[in-house]
Structure 1
Amino acid sequence: MTDAISDEFDRALAGLCADTRLRAIEGGADDGAEADTLWAEVDALGFTDALVGVEQGGAGLTLDDACSLLIAAGHAGLNHPFGETMVARKLLAQAGWRPDGRCIAVAKASLSESGELACTEVPGAALAGHVLAEAGDEWLLLPVDAAASTAGAFRPHASASLRWTGASLAVTRFPRHGTSAETICNAVHAAAMAGALARVLALSVAYAGDRRQFGKAIGQFQAVQQQLAVLTEDACSAAVAARMGCSAAMLPDPLHAATAKLRACEAAARGAATAHAVHGAIGITEEHALGLFTNRLHEWRMTPGTEGRCAQQLGEALLADNGLSFADFTRTRLTPTLPMVAC
């Protein structure tokens, strides 16, 4: 049943997320009108409420079930923070607050001495209506239009750093109960990166089969075949890691999510470089779709938690388990509690 749901979503996104449309949104076309239209069409499909309980109007899926949806959104190149919206709506519904159909980003907020709240380099924040911000022991649902905004480094018309004058601007607030914005983002970003890497692989294989040099397709040259083989390994390992990061009934395990994001980041760095090497100069042109996905991969790598932060988190957990060998740590702490299904 889960495969049927993700297949339906994948087909719907294929029709909605044409490369030209994604490129127009990334370029800030129509002052965001096209982005709002795309999100309204995606939200109308109903998948954004997949994690919300049935009694609250959702589908009641587990995060493990929804992993395929997150991967599909990354594969389609959806500009908006889809996975973050799914988890945010689940948390809000549990807190008794039903948001409207707007998109919701998730981030950790820093608090200044003057009481200002700041969220830096939030993927898709410029396209979202709200940010669910971790602030101390609370979640704050903050409206994007009430914030001072600075364009994101990788996608200036889609992502942003935001600053609010104070927590009083929050639409609603509720206790975190130990959940973390970093853990949530690690899991959903790892899944989206797995989808984007699969798309990068497909683009590279197609181009290598079409582009001819010295009378034959470049995909027939052993050096290119070796590059594509490594890219395939990276894409597949990222997909397996994403399943691990999302192997939870509701909210991801911090160590599983960090492991998934670390593997996705490592795969993305090498996979993006390999894909551009296969495509050559055409891969960096605005007209080609490859840059839409590799740029997104690098943005996810550089947003919290970064691969360095994920490695630090895993290292600290290993050292905290006194006397536990690395093999035993992997077996006992990094084994998913739910059975992982095929990608």
Structure 2
Amino acid sequence: EGPPPAPAASPAAPGGEKGRSFEMITVQRAVLELSNYTRLCEAMIHDGGIDLALATLQLCEAGDQRVPLAVELLWNLLALCADAAAPIIGQRKHLDTLHAALLCALSLGHKLNERELRNDILVVLSLLARDEATLPHFPTELVDLLLVLGCGAEAGKGHQGVNPTHHATTSAEDLQMKLLSWDTLAALCRDDDTAAHVFDWGLFDVLLAYVNVDCEIPAVVSWSTLQVLDIQAHVLRLLGNLMDRGCEWFAACHGPATLRMYIDDCPKLALRNQAVGVLAAAAATRVRGELIGVGTIPLAIQLLDANDDLDLRIDALNLLSDSVRRDPDLQRQFLDHGGVTAVLPLLTLIP
């Protein structure tokens, strides 16, 4: 009958440069899998894993399969070992590398995997922006690029490396890009110089456009209803977080009046409550006087009757207390609208 057939040979990796690339990708995938564990991340950082990942970004061309693997590795290292990884990745030279990698990803962008790579780089930048020591190292050019990605379509401002047909659509990936850019910018605004630059550029104008009931900017109104609701929740959270540093810009962009109208026309109670919280945050700043002419005091008094929402009533009380503090005009409004009569029953409220 003859000898049995020989077993099939396992497929070999391609030879030459292509083979080395194949082997490196295989190794990178294994390393990436291991980076899901904190102790192994610590070992990788100690043994120079960050330098290797950044070198991959520098040496590989656009479209190379090794680039997204390197970016995802940096993401894992920052997510699990931020204290050890951020001081290394957050150095200016490495931020320049990430900036170049982002521009490279933006030069492509028409394929799903390219948009995902773009967003993964933004995740890495957003994680770095949380590190206090990294803030001064972020180059202005990178901040400007983030502003264009997050706000350019609404503000009518572009960047030579950003193709609007690839990066300013209403796709889920481009929505994620916008929100990641906003989050990164908000974190960077903990630095005074960066905050002034970002606010002067027009961040508040764009954020408030999404809660302006009369807004007709095409880039704002083109989103679906569900997308708009998600964006509005994100915007209100950012406005509250940025209020301490950006209250003057908020007031200059007619923020109190915009939010007051939004509260009257808000499609969801949760968003209305968020908007009230933003006004309460504004009342605690030096622009509380801007609340006089927009009916904030009667609104807060009215909301004290929201028996089904304790958090909302707390926000309303904070709004009232911070508004009338050391402001005679707001104190007069409070009295004229029966504020004392509205507040007194709360003193007997049984917890």
TM-score, scaled relative to structure 1: 0.25
Higher share in helix: 2
Higher share in strand: 1
TM-score, scaled relative to structure 2: 0.25
User: Larger RCO: Structure 1 or Structure 2 (Cα < 8 Å, ≥ 6 residues apart)?
Assistant: 1
Query: Which entry has the higher C-alpha Rg, 1 or 2?
Result: 2
